Structure 1
Amino acid sequence: MDEIPTAIKAADINLWKCAVKGTQLHSVKPIMAYWCYYWVVNQILARQLHASDEEVLNYTTRLMDTLEQIKSDHANEEAITDDVAGQAYVENFSQDTLDRAERVVRANKVTHQTATTFDAAATFFHLVNIWGPADAETQQKIKYAKWNAARIAKALREGRDPNESNPRHDEEQASVASASLVSPASPTGGGGGMPVAPQPARVEDVPDAEEMVLPGVPSKLETPASHAQSGYFDSTNNNNMPSPESPPIQDPQDLAPPPSAPRNGAPPPEPSSEPAMPFPQHTQTQPPPVAGTPPPTAAVSMAPQAHASRPPIRPPSAPVSVPAPAGASPAPGPACTRGGGTVDEVAMLNAQKHAKWAISALNFEDVPTAVRELQKALELLGAT
């Protein structure tokens, strides 16, 4: 993919991070890249970011073509064609990313790359919003990943060893996990024989606003071997990865003790009520979509049809390549003539793009945009 417009970064740093991760994964994990791109297109259209910035409009059009190409290249891949399989894939990949970062923390070998991996995990967990709002456990995982990413980045910036502030994961702490959850805010560990570890922070201790706000999935799914390849964000393997600009990791306003990872035993603390990143009028609350269905290939079904059997934001079904005009042979030359004028292939391609956007706008009940885009398409085809 080409460069991500700066207007997207200015509008939402987390959306920009998602686009960056899609670009990084495009060649090595195209299915995960597909869902990253899918969410980005979803959000651009829902927020009308394309309506006020030509660069964003062009980028989104190309991104939609990329979605169609990935879907065509992986037509038999259930993680793209089936909602349940797609959500499971995203959840497992997100958990695998978080687990890799946690293993480095437990080994006290934290580097800047570890912060990047935690941040990536938060970004990936957020994609589950495609299928409905994230549950409390997922929100806790996002908090935990965000906190660690910010903690490590802050320590490195200040010239400190980030391993000094690593949460304790030794056997003693595991044996008293339940007790520490009962009174997480108690700053006094008492002497005793137990090591004094940083207290598990409440979810509320991690600021929400611009830092890595991103939700996603229950942790109890087993990661299939096909999804569990390690190293996508680890420094040892990162040399093989495309490297767009690394998303910034922001500081927490004041670093409270770490949120406890929700997978380690007791249920997570009650999450704060901050909203997840806005997403387009999805109303379903259960991950598996309910029946009642516009077809998944409906042109840019990026509308509020969250109950469809496919995710409601399916990219356009129109082929990416320029279609041959009806009844014409594949011979090169003008595609067609109208009113005595020749319509070349470039004009037809541009007309097709505007027609796609008109359909997208209608899915969002944005009639003025649909009319404008259709008029542009007709002008390109020689209509007066």
Structure 2
Amino acid sequence: MEFPPCPASLKCIQHFLKLAQEHDNRDVVISYWARLYALQVGLKASTQSAEDTKLLLAIMDWLEQMKKTHADNEALTNDIAAQAHIENYALKLFLYADKQDREENFGKNVVKAYYSSGVLYDILLTFGELSEEALHNRKYAKYKAAYIHNCLKNGETPIPGPFPDDEEVEGTDDNEASGSNGSAAAPPTPPSVDSAAPKEPEETQPTLPPTPSPPAPHITPPTAEEVLNNPNKLPSPPVEEEKPGGFEPYVPNAQPNAAAYQPIIPVAGVHITPDQMITAQKYCKYAGSALNYDDVKTAIENLQKALKLLSTGSE
């Protein structure tokens, strides 16, 4: 479907529409929720001009058509399934960009992955408030996208990985990545994320510069194009890899209360509905995400919730 051009008055939704367009032939779930979020933001920002109305109506028509065409896709019709799908995709992009960043594989691929991850975390606001992990990843991804893009544009070498204590990231807001702690190692203050990030899709995929300390010879990092076409190609971070700044591993202060971890005995005849199965999968996914950052406490809590739901049929 051809959409009318985005008027200047709706510039705030351009990056959501761009992400949707890039995924039209890759992932209809991402396209659907990106345009739905663009519509929600656009309705609030609209000046009710003819150009605004024409674009917003076209988006509405497309969303209605997709919902009918993909009525059997739970990630389009069920909020819990949709949230899990988008969170998983955003986290994979974030971990890919973070890994390449730490290995000093700087280039437009990393900028694109960081920026797309940040936009996906914006889209997750459709389902309510973001978790602390998602808020941190969102801010960090946007900041690093702007910072690396700025360095490449100015012919400078970016500082790999997180900055000390994430002070620069904590000082940014959602729309503008800025900040410096005054130390000599601090990066230059980048412009706003929207202005610093690439404005148009790249027609050709740039080649990543060689890594100073390359991984094992048989491992070739995927390009951003491969990542977006097939998220399963994203590498998982090794256990010993440094976690993104701002997260502290969970260290228990005392022995856990044994009573709190008594096994849950399944109740005979319990019937688990499809919605409850999706909710249990969500808890397991949250537990996996928590373990990526050594947050054992949160992982245990979510696994306990999943076990209770599957064993008793109630949360």
TM-score by length of 2: 0.55
The 5-angstrom pairing of residues 197-212 of structure 1 reads 198-202=163-167, 203-210=169-176, 211-212=192-193
Q: 1:89 to 1:235 in 2, by over 3 A?
A: closer
Q: 1:135 to 1:69 in 2, by over 3 A?
A: same
Q: What is the distance in 2 between the residues matched to 1:93 and 1:142? A: 13
* Identity percentage of aligned residues: 21
Deviation at 1:206?
A: 2.5
Deviation at 1:208?
A: 3.9
* Aligned partners of 2:166 and 2:245 also within 8 Å: no
Q: 1:260 to 1:103 in 2, by over 3 A?
A: closer
* Aligned partners of 2:166 and 2:246 also within 8 Å: no
Residue ranges of structure 2 left out of the alignment (5+ in a row): 177-191, 195-220, 231-242, 252-278, 280-315
Residue ranges of structure 1 left out of the alignment (5+ in a row): 169-197, 214-229, 241-258, 268-287, 289-384
Q: Cα deviation per residue 1:269-298 (whole Å; 9 max; x = unaligned)?
A: xxxxxxxxxxxxxxxxxxx9xxxxxxxxxx
Q: What is the distance in 2 between the residues matched to 1:8 and 1:261? A: 37
Match of 1:6 in 2: 7
Q: Secondary structure at the match of 1:201?
A: helix
Deviation at 1:237?
A: 6.8
Match of 1:76 in 2: 72
Match of 1:294 in 2: none
Deviation at 1:78?
A: 0.6
Deviation at 1:4?
A: 3.9
Q: What is the distance in 2 between the residues matched to 1:126 and 1:153? A: 20
Match of 1:21 in 2: 19
Match of 2:55 in 1: 59
Match of 1:98 in 2: 94
Q: What is the distance in 2 between the residues matched to 1:96 and 1:238? A: 10
Q: What is the distance in 2 between the residues matched to 1:7 and 1:265? A: 45
Match of 1:224 in 2: none
Deviation at 1:262?
A: 5.5
Q: What is the distance in 2 between the residues matched to 1:72 and 1:8? A: 30
Deviation at 1:199?
A: 1.1
* Aligned partners of 1:98 and 1:117 also within 8 Å: yes
Q: 1:116 to 1:86 in 2, by over 3 A?
A: same
Q: Please tell me the residue identity of whatever aligns with 2:29.
A: I
Q: 1:204 to 1:89 in 2, by over 3 A?
A: same
* Aligned partners of 2:37 and 2:126 also within 8 Å: yes
Q: Please tell me the residue identity of whatever aligns with 2:62.
A: T
TM-score by length of 1: 0.46
Q: How many residues in Structure 1 have an aligned counterpart in Structure 2?
A: 197
Q: Please tell me the residue identity of whatever aligns with 1:62.
A: A
Q: Cα deviation per residue 1:340-377 (whole Å; 9 max; x = unaligned)?
A: xxxxxxxxxxxxxxxxxxxxxxxxxxxxxxxxxxxxxx
Q: Secondary structure at the match of 2:165?
A: coil
Match of 2:224 in 1: 234
Match of 2:145 in 1: 149
Q: 1:264 to 1:36 in 2, by over 3 A?
A: farther
* Aligned partners of 1:144 and 1:261 also within 8 Å: no
RMSD in angstroms over aligned alpha carbons? 3.0
Q: 1:110 to 1:43 in 2, by over 3 A?
A: same
Q: What is the distance in 2 between the residues matched to 1:50 and 1:63? A: 16
Q: 1:8 to 1:72 in 2, by over 3 A?
A: farther
Q: Which of 134, 140, 144 in structure 2 is aligned with 1:138?
A: 134
Q: Secondary structure at the match of 2:166?
A: coil
Deviation at 1:90?
A: 1.2
Match of 1:46 in 2: 44
* Aligned partners of 2:29 and 2:75 also within 8 Å: yes
Match of 2:32 in 1: 34
Q: Structure 1 or 2: larger helix share?
A: 2
Deviation at 1:212?
A: 4.3
Q: What is the distance in 2 between the residues matched to 1:9 and 1:44? A: 6
Q: 1:133 to 1:8 in 2, by over 3 A?
A: farther
Q: Cα deviation per residue 1:180-227 (whole Å; 9 max; x = unaligned)?
A: xxxxxxxxxxxxxxxxxx4132343224444449xxxxxxxxxxxxxx
Deviation at 1:125?
A: 0.8
Q: What is the distance in 1 between the residues matched to 2:229 and 2:32? A: 22
Q: Secondary structure at the match of 1:160?
A: coil
Q: Please tell me the residue identity of whatever aligns with 2:3.
A: D
Deviation at 1:50?
A: 5.5
* Aligned partners of 2:17 and 2:34 also within 8 Å: yes
Q: Please tell me the residue identity of whatever aligns with 1:199.
A: P
Deviation at 1:46?
A: 3.1
Q: Secondary structure at the match of 1:143?
A: helix
Q: What is the distance in 2 between the residues matched to 1:66 and 1:131? A: 20
Q: What is the distance in 2 between the residues matched to 1:54 and 1:156? A: 40
Q: What is the distance in 2 between the residues matched to 1:263 and 1:92? A: 19
Match of 1:128 in 2: 124
Q: Structure 1 segments of 4 or more deviating over 3 A? A: 207-213, 235-240, 259-267
Match of 1:175 in 2: none
Deviation at 1:8?
A: 4.6
Deviation at 1:264?
A: 7.3
Q: 1:59 to 1:50 in 2, by over 3 A?
A: farther
Q: Please tell me the residue identity of whatever aligns with 1:234.
A: A
Match of 2:208 in 1: none
